[in-house]
Structure 1
Amino acid sequence: MYYNASPIYFVVILAMLASWLIQWRLKSKFQQYSQLGLQSGLSGRQIAELMLADHGITDVRVISVEGRLTDHYNPADKTVNLSENVYEARNAAAAAVAAHECGHAVQHATAYSMLQFRSAMVPMLSSVSTFMPWILMAGVFMLRTSLIPLGVGIALFSITTLFSFVTLPVEFDASRRALAWIDKRGIVTPQEHAMAKDALWWAAMTYVVAAISSLATLLYYVSIFLGGRDRR
């Protein structure tokens, strides 16, 4: 039996295109919502500090980092890192991002299982990502002589795919916590809440597309492996 990789390759291309379109849409949404100031007048930094305080978290610092859309929570040093256009900004987009990153801090403080699983995978993923592309490349070139290198590469790539899917519930849960808190705390008006929710939805879609793209790429390599085995 011959395994045709073309359909899967087409899915990979579509996923790459979707990723570009969603990134463009995300930046467009953030630009749009950044033009409207919050009625509460709170900055991203103030919102983050307030959310941490409300959850009894006193050992996490809120700091500013360079770049655009570079916001993240670092569980290693317990810092909420807000990009320059979020840290001091006072709009719905900044409120959404600041609260979302604090949502990860709350996950950490409450030992959210999926975040713990994801964090445990990070060291292994860092090691794998260094040499995995070279193993996959070697595996494709050596397909006629040995299937082992490609099989090893596929096994390693499956780890990155798993990581992409584990990330999804972590991100969606952080957004859920963020939106619930800013609404309950009165940080945003109903209109601002809708904008914050929309911004976080588009941000979440980048992770969804990344996971789908990773799975499609994994299946592409699997199809090459199976095709090579059947031609032996």
Structure 2
Amino acid sequence: MYSLSPAYIIVIITMIASWLIQRRLKSKFERYSQVGLQNNLSGRQIAELMLADHGITDVRVISTPGRLTDHYNPADKTVNLSEAVYEPRSAAAAAVAAHECGHAVQHATAYSALKFRSALVPALSAVSRFMPILLFAGVFLLNRTPYPLIAGVVLFSLTTLFSFVTLPVEFDASKRALAWMDKRRIVTTQEHVMAKDALWWAAMTYVVAALGSLATLFYYATMLMGRRRD
């Protein structure tokens, strides 16, 4: 009787967990997007205010298409806020805008984890071109030679490392955002609870992504070790 390997089961579990958390995040964001801020500031205004309070004058706040596509781009120093965050005046918009500015503050203060993650980006870009091919070829040719899969596993380990390095960067950005919003009294006590909850679920997507990457690495490594034992 055919049975799934433990590594494969772990991969399936992390995929399901990722899907569930993504759904939960969207649900939370939609819910908190309906709660208007008492101060009536838009996401853009909050972002600009946070940047100004930290003495950052060379970062632009711009609108980007899509939903939950918010990000900070260190290359051109832009805080990119999605349409659901840029102009809306909600607890969700405040949380996301401040979080992305938290990355800008990290960049301005040379936060070590962000510097390390940024240093990995060029290598990761190069790896992403060859890794899928090596993994596919490695699995297909495993009975003949282990070397393509070995190379694929080594490259995939870099992707996994990047996923885990991302975690402290994301948690720290949320911590900075919440601390600043409280200090500046951007949010009320109730709004703070909602902002913190939204950012926590957003962080969980990165946690599951990192665990999923580790599970996938474990799956390929187990396949490789199984072949070598044969």
- Fold-level similarity (TM above 0.5): yes
| Matching residue of 1:103 | 102
Give the aligned residue type for 2:211: I
Give the aligned residue type for 2:199: L
Runs of at least 4 residues off by over 6 Å: none
| Matching residue of 1:72 | 71
CA displacement at 1:130 relative to structure 2: 1.5
State the identity as a percent: 76
The equivalences for 1:172-187 within 5 A come to 172-187=171-186
CA displacement at 1:109 relative to structure 2: 0.1
| Matching residue of 2:12 | 13
Aligned length: 228
TM-score, with normalisation over the residues of structure 1?
0.97
Secondary structure at the aligned position of 1:103 is classed as helix
Give the aligned residue type for 1:38: L
| Matching residue of 2:170 | 171
1 CA distance for matches of 2:211 and 2:176?
Answer: 25
Conserved? CA contact 1:73–1:81, under 8 Å: yes
Secondary structure at the aligned position of 2:151 is classed as helix
| Deviation digits for residues 182-208 of structure 1 (CA, Å, limit 9, x no counterpart) | 011000000000000000000000000
Secondary structure at the aligned position of 1:73 is classed as strand
| Matching residue of 1:124 | 123
Give the aligned residue type for 1:74: N
Runs of at least 5 residues in structure 1 that lack an aligned partner in the other structure: none
Please, which moves more after superposition, 129-138 or 91-100?
Answer: 129-138
1 CA distance for matches of 2:30 and 2:84?
Answer: 10
| Matching residue of 1:136 | 135
| Deviation digits for residues 6-58 of structure 1 (CA, Å, limit 9, x no counterpart) | 11110100100010110000000010001110001000000000000000000
| Matching residue of 2:49 | 50
Conserved? CA contact 1:5–1:223, under 8 Å: no
| Matching residue of 1:160 | 159
Conserved? CA contact 1:99–1:178, under 8 Å: yes
Conserved? CA contact 1:5–1:220, under 8 Å: no
1 CA distance for matches of 2:15 and 2:57?
Answer: 41
2 CA distance for matches of 1:16 and 1:145?
Answer: 30
TM-score, with normalisation over the residues of structure 2?
0.98
Please, which moves more after superposition, 130-139 or 76-85?
Answer: 130-139
Runs of at least 5 residues in structure 2 that lack an aligned partner in the other structure: none
| Matching residue of 1:38 | 37
Secondary structure at the aligned position of 1:120 is classed as helix
CA displacement at 1:110 relative to structure 2: 0.1
Secondary structure at the aligned position of 1:62 is classed as strand
| Matching residue of 2:62 | 63
1 CA distance for matches of 2:43 and 2:144?
Answer: 57
| Deviation digits for residues 80-110 of structure 1 (CA, Å, limit 9, x no counterpart) | 0000110001011000000000000000000
CA displacement at 1:5 relative to structure 2: 7.2
